[in-house]
Amino acid sequence: MGITKSVQKLVAYTPGEQPKCRGVVKLNTNENPYPPSPKCLEVLRNFDLEYLRKYPDPVFIKLREAIAKRFKTTIEKVFVGNGSDEILALAAKAFVENDESIGSLDPSYSLYKTLADIRDVPWGGFDLASLSRTSRAARTSSPSLFLLTNPNAPTGMMKGPSEIEDFAAKFKGVVIVDEAYADFASENCMHLATKEGNENLIVMRTFSKSFSLAGLRVGYCVGPEKLIEAMYKVKDSYNVDALAQAIALVAFKDYSYMRSNVKKVVAEREKLTAALVSRGWDVLPSETNFIFAKPPEGQNAADIFAALKEKKIFVRYFPGPKTGERLRITIGTPEQMAKLIKALSSFH
Ligand code: PMP
């Protein structure tokens, strides 16, 4: 009673487990193992309570100015959300009619399908090449919003900017390139988002991974003014709180600190990949802060997931035909990776 039919049948998104017990090696939600910029702590220590008494800047001008400056664009092309998850939900509101649909790669970030279910519109999994080849007539039934994780999750693999640009040029709806992991990659698409003539491509990033601020809940996106303006129309008045705006701003300005942590994570990613490959694992080439790895013949991903959990090492397992043979392992500190390798070696 009272609850809409679509919500009654909705299967909610399940985020990765946040274990409460101590001594856990947490490699299951792609958080950064290193702390955020020390400048964030200064902001917290000196935060004037007056800024909590009053409402925050509804359009986060200072943060937008910093983002616009870094990417050599204007604040009209920048939007900030309560985590990039909020931006995705707002896009599903602003860019999809009730009789349209949402598309993404498959496998990809599983929240996308849940967002379509919440909107009560169909979701479809595609590969870019086949969608681009579809004839114009058939494309009337193609999605009006494409959520394109690049590099992808959980595979960790990426498509080059020229392939993304070609795809967006042929696509009739809005393309959001979800670059949650792009700071760990060798290339990215931000230049496409700010490019003259771009009308349908938005690039989205988050403070949760490379900036080590998953608990703060700040994400941002850059794209054509018309689309960005639409997102401002549908957002809550005060979607990013005062403390989050202040902390995200200093973290963003401390870009070199973020880059140095990224370097450490990338080095560890390459070390872990080599270590697993030498033990017979198949590891997809990753451009992110995680790897998607298949155990050697005779070993089973689900069993290893459970056995690691017994040892308080949390990784992520996605059952299903496209993902069930592999484990997604977040890159941690050298100490955490050593514990992982030691535990894996004990299963032989
Ligand atoms: N996109 C992808 C591909 C992700 O993996 C995540 C994190 N689960 C997000 C977006 C959301 O990140 P956040 O809401 O923390 O910014």
Q: What is the pLDDT of residues 36-95, one digit of tens each?
A: 999 999 999 999 999 999 999 999 999 999 999 999 999 999 999 999 999 999 999 999
Residue 103 scores a pLDDT above 70: yes
314-325 mean pLDDT: 95
User: In testing the pocket of ligand 1, which one of 13, 84, 110, 217 has its CB within 8 Å of the most ligand atoms?
Assistant: 84
Cα 180 to ligand 1 centroid, rounded to whole Å: 6
Q: Could you tell me if the CB of 149 is within 6 A of ligand 1?
A: yes
pLDDT > 70 in the chain, percent: 97
* Helix, strand and coil in the chain, % to nearest 5: 40, 15, 45
User: Which amino acid is located at 65 in the chain?
Assistant: E
Cβ(147)–Cβ(126) below 8 Å: no
Q: Could you tell me if the CB of 151 is within 6 A of ligand 1?
A: no
Which residue lies with its CA nearest to atom 4 of ligand 1? 180
Q: Which of 2-16, 30-44, 46-60, 333-347 has the lowest average pLDDT? A: 2-16
- Edge-to-edge strands of the sheet including 327-330? 282-283, 290-294, 327-330
Q: What is the pLDDT of residues 136-194, one digit of tens each?
A: 545 556 899 999 999 999 999 999 999 999 999 999 999 999 999 999 999 999 999 99
Cα 297 to ligand 1 centroid, rounded to whole Å: 32
Which residue lies with its CA nearest to atom 6 of ligand 1? 180
Residue 348 confidence class, pLDDT cut points 50, 70, 90: low
The atom of ligand 1 lying closest to the CA of 81 is: 16
Q: What is the pLDDT of residues 240-297, one digit of tens each?
A: 999 999 999 999 999 999 999 999 999 999 999 999 999 999 999 999 999 999 999 9
The atom of ligand 1 lying closest to the CA of 85 is: 14
Q: Is 13 exposed, middle or buried (0-12, 13-18, 19+ CB in 10 A)?
A: middle
At 142 the pLDDT is 86
